[in-house]
Structure 1
Amino acid sequence: MTNKQEKMICNSFGIAKLKAFQKDVITDLLNGKDVLGLARTSEGKSICFLSMIAMHPNDLMIGILPTVALMRDLVQRCEDSEIRAGCLYSGNAENTNIIERLKHGKLQALFVAPERLNDPHLWKAILKNKVHTIVVDEVHCLTEWANEFRPMYRNIGKFIKDLPSSPVVAAFSATVMQEDISYIAKSLHMKNPAVHIGKLKRSNLSLGKVFVKTEAIRYGKVKKAILKYANKGRIVIYCTRVCDVEEMRDYLIEDCDIEADEIAICHSKLSNRAKQEQRFRSGKARIMIATSAFGMGVNIPDIRLIIVSQLPFSAASFYQMAGRAGRDGRRAKALLLWNDADFQMNLDIICNTDERAIDAVNELYAICESSDDLHDAIIECFAKDGE
């Protein structure tokens, strides 16, 4: 990347200079190399792929993302930089208009969920454009969700392969396991991707784990943590199942004297999920109790405490949950509560999935049993060479 190109990118997005990680990724993308970029929140992964729009203003970049919140955020960032962008999702009144703009080559960036990729109307509109870059953001979803929860992730590679031109493919995440890199590259039809690893450990985030022998002890730990952080910022409590979310809410109301209005809940079966999430985002509710359905694309700056009240299904899943705290750079805490019953429940839930899922559950259980520092042990699970 030349100094002139770097200056153009910085001017386009209102930043003073590029970080070393960003320079390395952008240089490879500009040279036509596929890239897998791994770095923590705040390292500027999105600038890496948005910069490709500035370098190819007359062509199209397609971003594939898991949530509407992420899409909307990126569209807003593009519009702030005078980039013509749009996103497609269910219930969006602009969907028809966006397809029309795409047909006539009037978009520079399009953001979609993987489920949209099999829409024949969208495909015809895309074919009217030259696609220079395909971006798969939060690419850990490919390995965590593709088998059951979001099967369309398996079709992203076919979509890329079927494009008439051969775009550069860029994939990004903060949490990709070392052993998943080759799987991601193969699934997305990446050609010898350059792997760039930025900083993965967040110095402002403290991780702790506590073995809870009984449910009474588990709830007691939750109560103690909530009281400690009551006046420090917002709190998120993660539970494994929908029934656990409901029970945790009842406990906070009945045993912790927390008003119902201060609590929001989120899970996949909730009819008013958007309303509940908005209550938490706006600050009307200071505590969110949720399954892993809540979080992707969440960028609330003042979450000070994350309580993962039961053992998650992988180290990556735990670090994704923990990573929602302290987005403002101030000190924050993530507390993992676990026991053998959690471990067995997870094995029972995933018993019919693949060996990789079982290995991931076993890996996190081993980390919890060890005396190693939790933060260091989690980081060790991911692709190496990060700081």
Structure 2
Amino acid sequence: MSADLLTDPAEALHATFGFSAFRGVQEDVVDRVLAGRSTLAVMPTGAGKSLTYQLPAVMQQGTCVVISPLIALMHDQLRSATANGIRAATLTSADMDREQTIDRFRAGELDLLYIAPERASQPHFRELLSKAPICLFAIDEAHCVSEWGHDFRPDYRLLRPLMDAFPEVPRLALTATADAHTRADILAQLGIPEEGLIVAGFDRPNIRYTIRHRESVARQIAQLMADVPGPGIVYTTSRAKTEKLAEQLAAATGRTVLPYHAGLEPQVRAGNQAAFVASEDMVIVATIAFGMGIDKPDVRFVAHEGIPKSIEAYYQETGRAGRDGDDAQAVMFWAAGDFAQARSRLSEIEESRRAGENARLNALAVLVETGSCRRAILLRHFGEDPPARCGNCDNCLDAPGVIDATVTAQKLLSAVFRTGQTYGFGHVEKVLLGQADDRVLTRGHDQLSVFGIVDGDEVRLLKPLSRALQARGSLLPTEHGGLMLGGDARLILKGEASVQLVLPPKKESRGRRDRSGSGGGVNPVGDPLFDALRELRRALAQEASVPPYVIFHDSTLREMAAVRPTSLGALGAIGGVGTRKLEAYGDAFLQILREF
């Protein structure tokens, strides 16, 4: 920024970002960095992690070197930093101005230099560092350094020798998703002392968590889109599903819905991502290849059309919603087959990792099948001690019925065992219900002791019970699509383990659907001043070739519309209006405000 470095963090915060106060643990992290002490900050997505290195970078001589895993993420951060007057550059294979960037870096003319771990670990980059003034190493998405983390990247393991060559430069590692085991590994791998750990807490209170059984997923997500205006991300489990679901949703809703996966032509993929980032209402249907490179604050919902890889992955993927602090929704649609597939894939990974992956799958099954607070389960997974109820997940808002279904589970498991552990649920169900079709008669299954032992109220429990037992691993898929006993099935049969079943919610009537917290009330839609401010923002964003949120967040426009400042001084007091943005856009926004 300017040659006159600000020494007071609060002053620098307001001048650079337009904020009057730090959020959460930001100030603690910034203070440690400015004191030259290495730190691992575990902060939830949307808590302002990037500010904790960007602010020290503009307050100190020299460049902060930011190691980041994806080019798209770097370019996103670059746009936002530049809009705030921060001198930033990227050094990637996609940049045409590499020589100019290197010259600026050597001359000390950069506050931030973004680089990928693969390039950072090369000998020629270490040589370049020795010829440039550096004030900080910032390692973004630091869980990638740990084999315990869910996005392990081997090149992150080569960063410590690089940083050890510059012992006087502090290091700041940042992640949103690291349990206690992963945190300890990150500290060890990056050479950060244990006293340097700052954990902000994992709660994202503005996100409403909902988990539903998958029926007609295109219809279910189309209904979610109708209930929740604004941008959304839909995660799918395969490339083929991505393109098909995008077409179905576009046809059903009339909204722009585009696919994103690694198999698309690079220019198509990049174009779809750019369109989503710039949009104020588009939905993107994507594999998990999409997301880590996105820092879009106004995503109003994240939907999963199947189970994610783990609770850590779920937390990170849902965390892409509501980064601006406004209401957002995270909705997962799942089926028993998701767990069956995931458990069958466990046999394909090396044995040393199998137990850990199985434990992750079991933890995810608990989250999916619980009748208690979803948020509490998520937060306990990361070592927190939350209240028993959050008031903003489906189970807290509409408590499901939970019954002891151990006896019915014993009947179901017994039927699977007695029919030879080779048949699918449909056949086992017929045996239990006493339905003697040709297949049942031919195989003599009408003569089994389990034939016809389920009737009355138990009948409606069989399908949800089959799903629940598959989720927890008590029933496993056979090679040919049948079911066999697994996990704690024998303990259940012996009465040494119980089965609590969450009863599926009754079908909602369209007219009585609860739309509160859906994101629909976030912006004062129909307020002509707010609409005019948004229109101006859209025009300025197009002119500057940046997404609208880079100019100002919706929350800033809302405050403008509410306060109606009439001078540059008053406009500069609005949250999110820093010095650089006030100079660049202040007069244009004041003109609109004065018209009203």
TM-score, normalisation: structure 1: 0.85
The separation in 1 between residues aligned to 2:193 and 2:316, in whole angstroms, is: 28
In the alignment, which residue of structure 1 is the partner of 2:375? 375
In the alignment, which residue of structure 2 is the partner of 1:244? 241
Letter in 1 for 2:325: G
Whether 1:52 aligns to 2:47 is no
Using CA pairs under 8 Å that are at least 6 residues apart, name the structure with larger relative contact order, 1 or 2: 1
In the alignment, which residue of structure 2 is the partner of 1:126? 129
Unaligned runs of 5+ in 2: 1-5, 388-596
In the alignment, which residue of structure 1 is the partner of 2:73? 70
The separation in 2 between residues aligned to 1:224 and 1:62, in whole angstroms, is: 44
The separation in 1 between residues aligned to 2:159 and 2:36, in whole angstroms, is: 19
Superposition pairs of residues 193-204 of structure 1, within 5 angstroms: 193-204=195-206
| Secondary structure, aligned partner of 2:284 | strand
How much identity, in percent, do the aligned residues show? 26
Whether 1:223 aligns to 2:226 is no
Distance 1:155-1:347 versus aligned 2 partners, 3 A rule: farther
**CA deviation string 1:345-366 (max 9, x = no partner):** 2344454252444432332123
| Aligned alpha-carbon RMSD (Å) | 3.0
Q: Which has the larger displacement, 360-369 or 75-84?
A: 75-84
- Pick aligned residue for 2:337 from 325, 335, 341: 341
In the alignment, which residue of structure 1 is the partner of 2:230? 233
CA offset at residue 62 of structure 1?
Answer: 0.9
| Secondary structure, aligned partner of 1:158 | helix
In the alignment, which residue of structure 2 is the partner of 1:322? 318
User: How many residues align structurally?
Assistant: 375
Superposition pairs of residues 103-118 of structure 1, within 5 angstroms: 103-118=106-121
Larger radius of gyration between Structure 1 and Structure 2 = 2
Distance 1:52-1:302 versus aligned 2 partners, 3 A rule: closer
CA offset at residue 101 of structure 1?
Answer: 2.3
Letter in 2 for 1:378: L
Greater than 4 Å deviation, 4+ residue runs? 144-149
Q: Which has the larger displacement, 265-274 or 117-126?
A: 117-126
CA offset at residue 206 of structure 1?
Answer: 0.5
In the alignment, which residue of structure 2 is the partner of 1:363? 363
In the alignment, which residue of structure 1 is the partner of 2:296? 300
CA offset at residue 268 of structure 1?
Answer: 1.5
In the alignment, which residue of structure 1 is the partner of 2:252? 257
In the alignment, which residue of structure 2 is the partner of 1:92? 95
Is the 1:99–1:122 contact (alpha carbons within 8 Å) kept by the matching residues of 2?
no
Letter in 2 for 1:237: V
- Pick aligned residue for 1:19 from 23, 28, 50: 23
The separation in 2 between residues aligned to 1:386 and 1:61, in whole angstroms, is: 36
CA offset at residue 310 of structure 1?
Answer: 0.9
CA offset at residue 197 of structure 1?
Answer: 2.4
The separation in 2 between residues aligned to 1:372 and 1:156, in whole angstroms, is: 42
The separation in 2 between residues aligned to 1:81 and 1:352, in whole angstroms, is: 46
Q: Which has the higher strand share?
A: 1
| Secondary structure, aligned partner of 1:45 | coil
Is the 1:315–1:360 contact (alpha carbons within 8 Å) kept by the matching residues of 2?
yes
Distance 1:337-1:263 versus aligned 2 partners, 3 A rule: same
Unaligned runs of 5+ in 1: none
Letter in 1 for 2:72: A
Is the 2:299–2:321 contact (alpha carbons within 8 Å) kept by the matching residues of 1?
yes
In the alignment, which residue of structure 1 is the partner of 2:536? none
| Secondary structure, aligned partner of 1:27 | helix
- Pick aligned residue for 2:154 from 151, 154, 159: 151
CA offset at residue 181 of structure 1?
Answer: 0.7
In the alignment, which residue of structure 2 is the partner of 1:33? 37
